[in-house]
Structure 1
Amino acid sequence: MATFTERMGPVLLFWLGLCLSGTWAVDKGNFKTCDQSAFCKRQRAITPGESPYRALLETMELTNTKLTLQLINDNNKVRLLLELYRLQGNITRVKINELKPLKPRYEVPDVLIREPPTEPLSLLSQDENGVVLSLGAESQRVIVSARPFRLDIVEGRDVLMSLNSRGLLGFEHLRMRKDTQADPEADNKEATDPPSQVETTKEEEEKVEDGMWEETFKSHTDSKPNGPSAVSLDFSLPGVEHVYGIPEHADTLKLKTTDSGDPYRLYNLDVFQYELYNPMALYGSVPVMLAHNAQRTTGIFWLNAAETWVDISSNTAGKTVFGKMLDYVQGSSETPQTDVRWISESGIIDVFLMLGPTPREVFSQYASLTGTQAFPPLASLGYHQCRWNYNDQEDVRAVDAGFDEHDIPYDFIWLDIEHTDGKRYFTWDPHKFASPKEMLQGLMDKKRKMVAIVDPHIKVDTNYKIHNEIRSRGFYIKNKDGADYEGWCWPGSAGYPDFTRPDMRAWWAGQFAYDQYEGSMENLYTWNDMNEPSVFNGPEVTMHKDALHGSWEHRDMHNLYGFYVQMATAQGLIERSGGVERPFVLTRAVFAGSQRLGAVWTGDNAAEWDHLKISIPMCLSLGLVGISFCGADVGGFFKSPSSELLVRWYQTGAYQPFFRAHAHLDTPRREPWLFGPENTALIREAVRQRYTFLPYWYQLFYHAYQTGEPVMRPLWVEYPQDPATFALDDEFLLGRDLLVHPVTEEGARGVTAYLPGKDEVWFDIHTFQKHNGVQNLYIPVTMSSIPVFQRGGSIIPRKLRVRRSSACMEDDPYTLYVALDNRRTAEGELYIDDGHTFNFEKREFIHRKFSFTNNVLSSVNLEPDAQFTTKSWVERIIILGASKPSKITLRTADDQENQLEFDFDASMSVLTIRKPGMNAGADWTMTLQ
């Protein structure tokens, strides 16, 4: 039998050559800077304040639903068409395209969940200098200035946002290259067409240079048959110092100014061992930015799937706290302002201005455009055990048994690329995984599940059914000459299916059917890796931009590829069950709208303390743009963690939405019991804490599915007027009610957590000690410490009987943790359904509200027309911040009254009510006298 290295061939040697180069760090030379990206360099060279664009007010047309207006570039006489829409929910949409392009320019499909409904626009005034329109809501107006073109959105006396106020609008019109060929359609064009839209002008001919029609990076030359086509626009945000979003970057939550370096880059790339705290592109690109100050939250959604760069500047950047105080004392009249500039290689300008004014309203506005987080199966919120790779079926069996032996719960075990027959996806290694159904049945018997990887690069092999079908149907992406595009990836020479095609996605979805994917069962789920797409021998380790998706170039839609791969895969898992079962699909590459499709992780991180720390702002940033189901590889993918780092990572991961351990195949094994009994006990406790909170996690994800609000969120989302929260990214909230400050420093003996809320109180979930809000609390820590606080005023349901998997806990009882606020009130929710089907859409669920006020605790039905039954009951109620009652009486829905037993800890003001015994789906009231 061939050795592992022989089977992998040159691809393994290529990739391991990177791994073993000695640095274990990103080779920045493999990836472009703005100066090396021709369109970015050109656009960034535009001088502010000298805009050539003028609004032609005589061309204005105003209907009930939109404004259209032509813009002209006075330098080359090319005309653009501006469209402005007022959308429902306090959103303004601005589109700018060429008035008469030589050929259609790419407009992003499938990301918006529908054509957004509009609201009326009306004209308030007009003169030779501009136009004022009413936006209808809260005295909002749009002011369109003619010379130079500028657009301001105003509310009352406040400017909320300005477009082209710095004069950096750039729109490279499509043209024929005069020195190569004439435009065959030129004679048929209307005489009124500006000549510069047919071919380059003399002025422009002199500028044909540096990557306008082709450019070379390292050994790759990028042909550009359509020539330069970049678009850019600047936005000014008066009163704003804090902007967030545009993931994915390994950087702080608050985005930094980019005046002295590269802009943030959005271009999905397989970046080997990515570097921290810089604006380099990573695996995902979500072109959404949020701006926040104590008065308002707004958002910008730049709907463009081409390579994009985002520049950020601020008039307060670099000022020290003392400098800002001095400005205040001296009465500086300068209003803080952040300016943002978006630059994309192709497509059109299509931007949605989400005007808030609150964080929740911005989340709702974005969700109305691109959808909410998919509601995951309950089991996927448990713990996942992964490695590249579990060797064979016996290895899987032994690892599964190890969790039972060490009493550590888990729900999913994962298989990486080595489980396949020679990197042929949808297959199994015939020697190592000879009977996959037997393996899956063994897991199913324990109510556990498996995830197997299915990557979107397909081995070019005429003996491989998947390849033959894709090729025969013409479903592969083509190269610029029209032949099937091929590149190197894990199987060696690989083709790349064109997932932008609906028929290709439908075919791919069909491959997950049980009679197609041999060896699969209902407890097998899917992981899409390498879907940027990763091409080992391609430019910047990805696909050539001149590859073709039908008539469109890959450059137009690059950032959409992974979105489409996950879409097709999720559809396949739904279809295989006849539309009954919710899918679970993990993806590495994401775009706007990916939240509708499943989960994401932060890619190939490293076993380093800084990588543990960066997992927090990375997931917070994704959550702010809708993608709540985020996690990082626990322990770090590359390198080997110390036992201290591994324990701290489990403790952090247990309180992040997606909780999976994963490791590179060259690292020593690191199952949770391999670091000695003391560390095993610490990891066990962290994982078990995760399982006790599964009812709360599930409720938060249901809420995210309903509203678009992030599960894991920065403190400023809940405390938007507290500047102390605006840049915090070493702690976070889960929903409103749990504050988590993980220990992420090596050798830490204490952490300082900021507890927000002027009138809030917070209870340590481990000790029940009470702390007031608006303080920096120093917390001594040991290796067992996970600083977590429950907000006073909240009620959180937990399940304290932890079993080997979430499904084993389905009928187990609840404990309610009632944390009283300073008014001695609290409220919370409980959501229950079957945990895995779409039957909740048929209103088969329980959704209850708990309230504590005037010494009465009650449970009422939030959805009286929903129907579901549960065997779970309430076995314990723990009230924090309580007083000792003389007696406690329970009244059930049938008017039965019972007196309940209780214990009271006077030293901690904790009241424990034992075995009240109500069904979790029942109405009841409990009176403390």
Structure 2
Amino acid sequence: MKFTDGYWLVRDGVTLQRPAEVHDVEVHEDRLRVFAPVTRIETRGDTLNKPVITVSFTAPREDVIAVEIEHFAGARQSRPRFDLETAPASPGITREGAGEAETISFTSGRLTARVALHGPWHVDYLWDGEVLTGSGARSIGYAQVEGEGPYIHEQLSLDVGEHIYGLGERFGTFVKNGQSVDIWNADGGTSSEQAYKNVPFFLSSRGYGVLVDDAGPVSFEVGSENVAATQFSVPGERLRYEVYGGGTPLEVLDRYTARSGRPPQLPEWSFGLWLSTSFTTQYDEETVLSFVDGMAERGIPLSVFHFDCFWMRGFHWSDFVWDPATFPDPRGLIAKLHDRGLKVCVWINPYIAQRSHLFAEGAEAGHLLRTVEGDVWQTDLWQAGMGLVDFTSAEAAAWFTGKLEALLEDGVDCFKTDFGERIPTEGIVWADGSDPLREHNFYAQQYNQAVFELLERHRGTGEAVLFARSATAGGQRFPIHWGGDCESTYVAMAQSLRGGLSLTSSGFGFWSHDIGGFEGTPDATLFQRWVAFGLLSTHSRLHGSSSYRVPWLFDEESVDVMREFAQLKVQLTPYLLRTARATARTGAPSMRPMYMQFPDDPAARALDTQYMLGPDILVAPVLQASGEVDVYLPAGSWVHLLDGEELDLEHGAYLRRRYDVHSLGLFARAGSEVLAQVRAARAEAGA
């Protein structure tokens, strides 16, 4: 959100007040409070009729500093709030300098906030004494916007050449500099500025991270309103953010995920190939078994079979009742799939259609969202007359997950938790009194958490898996997440990859996407290219909207390509499991952008068409019909995993290669354990 009209003026309808100087400080054992009036105080009369901005510094963990900016302290603390794990550090608070150069510093571990006590407002954030970023004289603002109310914003300085990443899943330009980004979950596909997974956290190439600790609509201006700063603003009288101290991007993510939550260890079977019925296609038990048996007959290893929406009857979503016309014996079918060595996933969502028998039950018990008038909130968008499960109520969450227990008893192993973005904000009342604006994004967290914890209770720790679409900060604790509804084009494949790399820059450890694209039907070559990309992502799912994704419906070469890459992923499984254990331990994403693995290489900082799968494998998907791909290899020794090409590079280098559909840019570090394992496995298989 922009408040200014160029550098000198403010926008029409906006009044903007900024801290002018530090007037006083309070030093406590665990915090520093700084009081900054919006004008200089030269006489006693200057203390009247003007705001004072209070800025507080605390240390929720070592190497982390939390900053709270307040105007009216009596404004209530809105729910919901992010669930952040605390291990309070013992901060150091010191005064230094004298006269106009006097400062007061608040230190947590190796991270320091240094506040200028004289002259214009100024705070520097330092790591081991080196300035990372800062808040200057025009950085903090208390804005009154006509017709909307108050906002507070902060601006943290951007250095020359500094790049900003993250802010959740974003499908546009990977580096966020120059962009306006609104943290607001929406069901907008992969080709717009909207996103399903919005996270108010960003990583800087300067070696720090920032979380805006507000579950609501945070607005970021990344070098866009002030081209020399990252601005973030929230509605209300209070803004709280946290600075995560420096080092490499992986070290910053270690600190951030220690606070917002680590991804759990995932079961080995989740890394295999998932096959879906697709969405609006016709399918029944015969169709399902023909697909599964067809994959086995063609030597394509399969791990999970997924039933999408129409396992239930139309107009009845979600009632969690198998459609008796197409699946008269669901337990028997699930047993047959288990006998074939497969796990079973079914689609669900938290929208309860009026035709569902659960609508009346949920409404009577008070488990559905209500309007301010006391009626059940309803809409015809998606399912006719649908209501919304109120996950702010523990009783409603237990009611919803209790209905899923019957599916677990049928033998279902995991759930695709779809939707969770179209959450109303006006004219409604949540059971626990949550602020509707802040519940909008947070709803996905409560929905996914409820289902994930159900699976942990019934399947055990280390066996719980979701296939989730929506999320916010901390959502990495409930994996896996996939990229949402993309078109069946090369451009959409690149969009999806940018979204995934942006998400893993935001603390998410695992990621997937719809192989072949969701909307439309790819041609055979595009499908083959997407198969290679999909089976070299952390998680791999074949899914579409109105067409199936089994390879023999494209051509026989698609069968060969899928067999080759599915078998390659099996060979990579020990490596993926080692990488996943590190993800659960440190928060380091299993699929990561190039800058994250090579932070000292300037050429890696803007790359968004290739990535690292763990620390030792570089993947550059083919994203154009010609088969050409530009690959950047950082300095070091690399070996192509499929064709054996060896490169020993003193400096990083760009390569242009043309690959047929049986290959792509796929390099491993020379001497790595995974290279030796894959070579041995391919030799044994005669590849």
Aligned to 1:708: 587
Selected match of 1:135 from 79, 103, 107: 107
Alpha-carbon separation, structure 1, partners of 2:111 and 2:267: 44
Q: In the alignment, what sits opposite 1:267?
A: 184
User: 1:621: which partner in 2?
Assistant: 502
CA distance in 1, matches of 2:170, 2:492: 12
Distance in 1 (CA, whole Å) between partners of 2:8 and 2:212 is 21
Q: How do residues 103-114 of structure 1 correspond to structure 2 at under 5 angstroms?
A: 103-106=75-78, 108-112=80-84, 114=85
- Determine the C-alpha separation between the residues in 2 that align with 1:598 and 1:157: 37
2:456 alignment counterpart: 574
Instruction: Report what 2:433 is aligned to.
Output: 551
Match for 1:388 among 262, 275, 279? 279
Question: Residue 199 of structure 2: SS of its match in structure 1?
Answer: coil
3-state SS of the aligned residue for 2:677?
strand
Structure 1 counterpart of 2:466? 585
**What is the match of residue 27 of structure 2?**
62
1:436-465, Cα deviation, whole Å (9 max, x unpaired): 10110000001102211110111234x71x
8 Å CA contact retained: 2:610, 2:619: yes
The structure 2 residue matched to 1:764, chosen from 640, 647, 651, is: 640
Cα deviation code 1:509-561 (max 9, x no counterpart): 33332xxx2574344310111211x2xxxxxxx52344222433311221111
Distance 1:410 1:420, change over 3 A: same
Instruction: State the shift of 1:130 in Å.
Output: 6.5
Q: What is the root-mean-square deviation of aligned Cα atoms in Å?
A: 2.8
Q: Is the 8 A contact 2:273 2:302 kept in 1?
A: yes
- Which residue in 2 is equivalent to 1:219? none
Q: How much does 1:593 deviate?
A: 0.5
Q: 1:427 maps to what in 2?
A: 321
Partner of 2:208: 298
Aligned-residue identity in percent: 23
Quote how far apart the aligned CAs of 1:426 are: 1.8
Alignment-mate amino acid for residue 132 of structure 1: I
Q: Give me the TM-score of the superposition, normalised by structure 1.
A: 0.67
Within a 5 Å distance, the mapping from 1:2-401 to structure 2 comes to 40=1, 43-44=3-4, 52-54=17-19, 57=22, 59-73=24-38, 77-101=50-74, 103-106=75-78, 108-112=80-84, 114-125=85-96, 131-135=103-107, 137-138=109-110, 140-145=112-117, 148-155=120-127, 158-170=130-142, 209=146, 211-212=147-148, 228-258=149-179, 263-271=180-188, 273-275=189-191, 280-292=193-205, 296-313=206-223, 338-346=228-236, 348-386=238-276, 387-389=278-280, 391-401=283-293
On the 8 A contact 1:161/1:237 being kept in 2, the answer is yes
Residue segments in structure 1 that go unaligned for 5+ positions in a row: 1-39, 173-206, 213-227, 318-336, 535-541, 798-814, 819-875, 879-911, 915-929
Seen in structure 2, the aligned counterparts of structure 1 residues 456 and 737 have a Cα distance that, compared at 3 Å, is same
Instruction: Verify the 8 A CA contact 1:159 1:238 in the aligned structure 2.
Output: no
Contact (CA 8 Å) 2:69, 2:238: kept in 1 or not?
yes
Question: Relative to structure 2, which stretch is displaced further, 435-444 or 297-306?
Answer: 297-306
1:916-927 → structure 2 map (5 Å cutoff): none
1:843-922 correspondence runs (5 A): none
* 1:359-387 deviation per Cα after TM superposition (whole angstroms, max 9, x unaligned): 22101111111111222221111111121
Query: How far does residue 780 in structure 1 lie from its aligned partner after superposition?
Result: 3.2
1:791 aligns with 669
- Between the aligned partners of 1:231 and 1:286, the Cα distance in structure 2 is 19
Show structure 2 runs of 5+ residues with no match. Answer: 11-15, 40-47
Partners in 2 of 1:107 and 1:47 — Cα distance? Answer: 35
Mapped contact 2:543–2:549 kept (Cα < 8 A): no
How does 1:298-697 map onto structure 2 within 5 Å? 298-313=208-223, 338-346=228-236, 348-386=238-276, 387-389=278-280, 391-421=283-313, 422-461=316-355, 464=357, 466-513=358-405, 517=406, 520-532=409-421, 534=422, 542-549=423-430, 550-577=432-459, 579=460, 582-665=463-546, 668-697=547-576
Q: Shift of residue 628 of structure 1?
A: 2.1
Give SS of 1:587's match. Answer: coil
Does the residue aligned with 1:54 lie in a helix, a strand or coil?
Answer: coil
Q: Deviation string for 1:299-329 (max 9, x for gaps)?
A: 11112122222112279x9xxxxxxxxxxxx
Aligned AA (2:126): V
User: Quick check: 2:110–2:245 contact (8 Å CA) kept in 1?
Assistant: no
Q: Which residue of 2 aligns with 1:801?
A: none
Give the aligned residue type for 1:305: A
- Rate the CA distance shift 1:624–1:48 in 2: closer, same or farther, 3 A: farther
Task: Kindly indicate whether the alpha-carbon contact (under 8 Å) linking 2:389 and 2:400 is maintained by their aligned counterparts in 1.
Answer: no
AA of the residue aligned to 1:385: L
The letter for the 1-side match of 2:67 is: V
- Distance 1:347-1:599 versus aligned 2 partners, 3 A rule: farther
RCO greater where, 1 or 2, for CA within 8 Å and sep 6 or more? 2
For the residue of structure 2 that corresponds to 1:600, the secondary structure is: coil
Q: Does the CA-based 8 Å contact 1:423-1:490 persist in structure 2?
A: no
**C-alpha distance 53-230 of structure 1, shift in aligned 2 (>3 A):** closer
What amino acid sits opposite 1:111 in the alignment?
A: D
Contact persistence 1:763–1:771 (CA under 8 A): yes
d(CA) in 2 for partners of 1:794 and 1:229? 55
Cα distance 1:702–1:580, how it changes in 2: closer, same or farther (>3 A)? closer
Deviation at 1:467, TM superposition (A): 2.7
Q: 1:93 to 1:146 in 2, by over 3 A?
A: farther
**2:414·2:465 contact (CA, 8 Å) conserved in 1?**
yes
Q: Deviation per CA, 1:324-376, whole angstroms, max 9, x where unpaired?
A: xxxxxxxxxxxxx8411112234731111112122221011111111112222
How far has the Cα of 1:87 moved from its partner? 4.2
Question: Residues 707 and 433 of structure 1: is their aligned pair in 2 closer, same or farther, counting only changes over 3 Å?
Answer: same
Closer, same or farther: CA 475–145 of 1 in aligned 2, 3 Å: farther
| 2: CA distance, partners of 1:44 / 1:96 | 20
Q: Is the 1:354–1:362 Cα contact (8 Å) retained in structure 2? A: yes
Does structure 2 retain, via aligned residues, the 8 Å contact 1:373–1:627? yes
